[in-house]
Amino acid sequence: MSADVRAAAPTRRPPRTSPDRRTGRRPRFDVLPYALVAPLAIFIIGLALFPAAVTLVDAFFKVQPLNPPDGFIGLGNFVRMFQDDSIVSSMVNTAYYVVIGVVLSTVLGVLFAVTLQQRFRGRSVLIAVLILPWALPGVVEGIVWSGIWDSNTGLLNSVLTSLHVISHYQVFLGQNRLVTVLVIELVQVWQITPLSTLLVLAALQNIPGDLYEAAELDGAGAWKTFTRITVPLARPGIAIAMVQAVIATLNVFDQPYVLNGAASTGASVMEQTYFVSFQNLDFGEGYALSLLITVVTILVSLAIVRIVYRAVEL
């Protein structure tokens, strides 16, 4: 069995607007498409790109309303950021969030997608139910899950005690850094996995059924079919799912804030950005932190696309 899977040649670029061969004239500039796109473009420029540009510039300025005057300080905000133990600690936590979150949501997303690829009764209902956690706000999820993780009255402790797995209630949050980060990140994985599943499922739907039939005729087992056909052909979807997981986990805020407060065992960079900007009112350092997250998000996403993404030709 061998599925013909290979990296596609670069997509051909559309021909540039060139003079009409018969008349030798350039076609008239058509304003319509630009006018149609203009409102959206203006919104994006005004509400995303312009603030991003301001953030980029102000990250190199002292912007502290409580301590005027403001002014250019070069890398001063970045230096202070790396001298702050709580921020450095939150960077480590965030790295854990990213690794745990991206790995778990991708693995679970692929597994769920492969399951949902099969036709079975109630599949549509299951997909609708699956998407619910993704639709819930992170704060709501944090509150819901705090009832599960709670060390005094939580559901998990109650169940584990009833099953005699543990003899007395355990503290899951706030004591051990790795356990705390894992427990918090599981809540976020619960939230982001549905989108990963749908993205991978969309990629799986594009795989022609005859490839699987051919594999079956060639005597390939389920595992071989999965590793030689499903995964390679789903790589574009997997890459996009991983990128969305990277964006979500690097920006995690609600879950650690609700479940673990400002404690160093679980605080994320995004929490520190909030504290620095809106509690300390040090907007310059807040901009610097935001810029750092943006740059890291772009770099990690690019790395994932480069490593995981492969254009497929079917």
Partner 1 sequence: MASTRIAAKRTALLAGAIGLGLIATGCSGGSGSGGSDQTKGVTITVAWLNPPPPKAALAAFEKSSGITVKWADIDWDSLQTKIAAAATSNTYFADATDVDWSRVGQLGKLGWFYPMSKYLDVKSMAADMPQMSSFQADGTVYGIPFDSSYMVTTVNQAEFKKAGITSMPTTMDQYTADLQQVKAKGVSATPLNIPFAAAEGLSTYWYEATNAFGGTVLDAKGQPQFTSPSSGGYKAAAWMVNAIKSGLVPAGNINVTDSQGMQNLMAKGVVASTFSDYSGNVGSLYDVPSSSSVVHDVAYIPTPGPTGTVPNLGNPDGIGIPKTAKYPKAAAEFIKWITSTQNQAAFAGADGAAKVMPNYPTPSRLSAMKLLTASGKLAQGQELTTLLSGAKPVFASGAPTWYPQFSRAVSTNLHAAAVGSMSVQQAISAIASTAKSLASGS
CB of 174 to partner 1, least distance (A): 4
DSSP element (H, E) containing 71: strand 71-72
Q: Which residues bind partner 1 (CB under 8 A)?
A: 31-32, 35-36, 38-40, 42-43, 46-47, 65-67, 86, 146, 150-154, 169, 171, 173-175, 259-265, 274-275, 277-281, 283
Judged by CB, which is closer to partner 1: 252, or 312? 252
236 upstream amide cis, omega within 30 of 0? no
Residues 103, 182: contact at Cβ < 8 Å? no
CB of 80 to partner 1, least distance (A): 11
Rounded Cα distance between 130 and 128, Å, is: 5
Judged by CB, which is closer to partner 1: 4, or 30? 30
Q: What are phi and psi of 12, to 5 degrees?
A: -70, 140
Q: Which two tokens stand for residue 143?
A: 């509150």
Judged by CB, which is closer to partner 1: 142, or 236? 142
Nearest partner of 238 among 278, 200, 181, 184, judged by Cα = 200
CB of 1 to partner 1, least distance (A): 53
CB of 110 to partner 1, least distance (A): 33
Rounded Cα distance between 7 and 5, Å, is: 7
CB of 62 to partner 1, least distance (A): 13
CB of 84 to partner 1, least distance (A): 11
Rounded Cα distance between 130 and 196, Å, is: 11
Judged by CB, which is closer to partner 1: 79, or 222? 79
Whole-angstrom Cα Rg for the chain: 25
Judged by CB, which is closer to partner 1: 174, or 232? 174
Side chain identity, residue 36: L
Judged by CB, which is closer to partner 1: 55, or 280? 280
